[in-house]
A and B are shown apart, each in its own frame.
Chain A
């Protein structure tokens, strides 16, 4: 039981530390990606031009 206790304590410390570093990266990376998403969507065609752009209804995909 003692071995499990040490294992879980180490697990908590390592995974929480790693996840905080990953979260900071994702917060900044995600903001940049969000900016790109908005820019890309604005540049894409309006409804009338994109009527058939949705491939999910029996088409052959993108």
Chain B
């Protein structure tokens, strides 16, 4: 146990302030569903970018980026390269995001209904819900594992004669306050706390990067990567067996980053919450300058862990399979920091965890309610306040499921690859019906159904079959996009022959919107 009294005080103060602020946001929601879900569509560009950055680079990202750096060497910097290229592309061109925000859709499901049909909304919503559920279920356990190994907590606690495992307890303790304030204030709470966490996490990350480089020189890091991985550790296009990335990975990731940034619920909900289409577009441009450096700092920590603690013996008690490499970086960081800095960094980490979990749980519950539950209950005429209560119940149910799934499911690949595959259950099909729907007037519901089904099959096969070869996962992931887009086109043409007409969504002129 490395924490001192002052470290606990820093963490308790930070947690208390953030949770209290998040809970107080309930007053701004006033039982209004539009406020709860999309913050009244009043969020401007800097708050969108700061909150988006906090939500997208949470503790789960700290974990998987650290693991990627540990397992791939400098090649892991290819991830921030892709983030920069894809987000700058969306931010400066307005690809999809401008037209999507102009439709006034609240969720992707809502857009699916406006452009295709009511039944397709529920159908695509179910895929989206499944994909995000599989993804977010790894967040709490990864966060719990990070904090446990970072603080050097024992594997078990003794409470009144009973022996309790640490990782599940820490996981539950992390989850509880986040779920409480997300249930209270919805997207308003998430935006407020994400901003607070953005500030805190950024300060902590800057301090830790300086400490890491003071402890482990750049030359030592380069030497360790050379010795461990050789050329594979530097050139991301090379691949041998399970080592390195390769060209298939690059193809899959490029598509996954573009469409993940457009259709993935937390970021998509942020687009819907933006004050206008221009603010949504600018959010991506600003994030393209924030994200690469932020991810780069974490990768530097993972590389330093590779140089300093590659052979340390670390107990993996109470963790699912596949967590050895994941806990190396938190273990290293925990040994590195003096008191006070340790407390500040732990508060920053908790900030990252809370912002990430709250944004994802809010977005997932929005999909579950807006796209599946409320359309089913439409005839009952539920009041706005009742819907907010149902929404809160769904958030709680998701938290319970995620806690149990994370403790049960073991990893046979890197955490990052798992997350990309679970995301790909939804992204290829949604990317196809979004792009065709916004840019091709003839796109119809038959094509949308075909794209959704075709895009989900291959990633689901990867998750269930747990292929040993990484290339198999990358190739199938890449192919899922090709199949989804081909399905959208072919389905639309078949639909036309069957007499299915395309629905069109009225959109104001782009130029007029941009002049606001």
| Residues of chain A having any CB pair with chain B under 8 Å | 1, 4-5, 8-9, 11-12, 15-23, 25-34, 36-38, 40-42, 44-47, 50-51, 53-58, 60-62
> Which residues of chain B have C-beta atoms less than 8 A from A50's C-beta?
32, 34-35, 384
B296-A11 in contact (CB<8A): yes
Contact partner of B296 (CB less than 8 A), chosen from A16, A33, A55, is: A16
Tell me whether B110 and A55 are in contact (CB under 8 A).
Answer: yes
Which A residues are CB-close (under 8 A) to B30?
46-47
Give the interface size bracket for B toward A: 35 or more
CA distance A10 to B290 in the complex (A): 17
Q: Is B300 engaged at the interface, CB distance under 8 Å to the other chain?
A: yes
Chain A residue at minimal CB-CB distance from B81: A11
At the interface, yes or no: B449 with Cβ under 8 Å from chain A? no
The reply to whether B45 and A58 contact each other, CB–CB distance below 8 Å, is: no
Pick the contact of B47: A12, A33, A44, A45 (CB < 8 A): A33
A41 touches B42 (CB 8 A): yes
Contacts of A61 in B (CB 8 A): 103-106, 110, 114, 505
26 residue pairs of the A-B complex, CB under 8 angstroms, read A4-B235, A8-B74, A8-B234, A11-B80, A15-B84, A16-B293, A19-B289, A19-B291, A20-B293, A25-B46, A26-B198, A26-B286, A27-B202, A29-B50, A30-B198, A34-B47, A34-B191, A40-B40, A41-B39, A42-B28, A53-B32, A55-B34, A55-B106, A56-B110, A57-B110, A60-B104
Counted as pairs of residues, one from A and one from B, with CB atoms less than 8 Å apart, the total is 167
Whether B106 pairs with A54 at a CB distance below 8 angstroms is yes
Looking at chain B's contact residues, the main secondary structure is helix
Given contacts A4-B235, A19-B289, A19-B290, A41 and B296 within 8 Å (CB-CB): no
CB neighbours of A30 from chain B (8 A) = 46-47, 49-51, 195, 198
Q: Is the CB of B384 within 8 A of A57?
A: no
Q: Which residues of chain A have C-beta atoms less than 8 A from B84's C-beta?
A: 15
Q: How far is the CA of A49 from the CA of B204 in the complex (A)?
A: 44
Given contacts A16-B297, A56-B107, contact A37 B191 (CB under 8 A): yes
Binary per-residue interface labels of chain B (366-400) against chain A in the complex, 1 for a CB within 8 Å, 0 otherwise = 00001000110010000111010000000000000
Closest Cβ–Cβ distance, residue B136 to chain A (whole Å): 21
Would you give the shortest CB distance from B254 to chain A, in whole angstroms? 17
Q: B74's closest neighbor in chain A, by CB?
A: A8
**Contact assessment for B385 and A47 in the assembled complex, using a CB-CB cutoff below 8 Å:** yes
Contact A56 B385, beta carbon cutoff 8 Å: no
In the complex, besides A27-B198, A37-B188, 12 extra interface pairs with C-beta distance below 8 angstroms are A5-B234, A11-B80, A11-B296, A19-B294, A32-B46, A34-B191, A44-B42, A46-B32, A50-B35, A53-B34, A57-B370, A61-B114
CA distance in complex: A54, B200 (Å)? 33
Q: Does B181 interact with chain A (Cβ within 8 Å)? A: no
- Please tell me if the beta carbons of B28 and A38 are within 8 angstroms of each other in the complex: yes
- A28 to B286 CA separation, bound complex (whole angstroms): 14
In the complex, chain A residues whose CB is within 8 Å of the CB of B228: none
CA distance A22 to B297 in the complex (A): 15
Q: Of all chain B residues, which has the CB nearest A38?
A: B28
A62 touches B41 (CB 8 A): yes
CB distance from B272 to the nearest CB of A (A): 8
A22 CA / B52 CA spacing, docked (Å): 13
Q: A8-B77, A46-B30, A61-B110 are in contact. Are A29 and B104 (CB under 8 A)?
A: no
> B209: which A residues are within 8 A, CB to CB?
16
Query: Which residues of A lie under 8 Å from residue B51 when comparing CB positions?
Result: 30
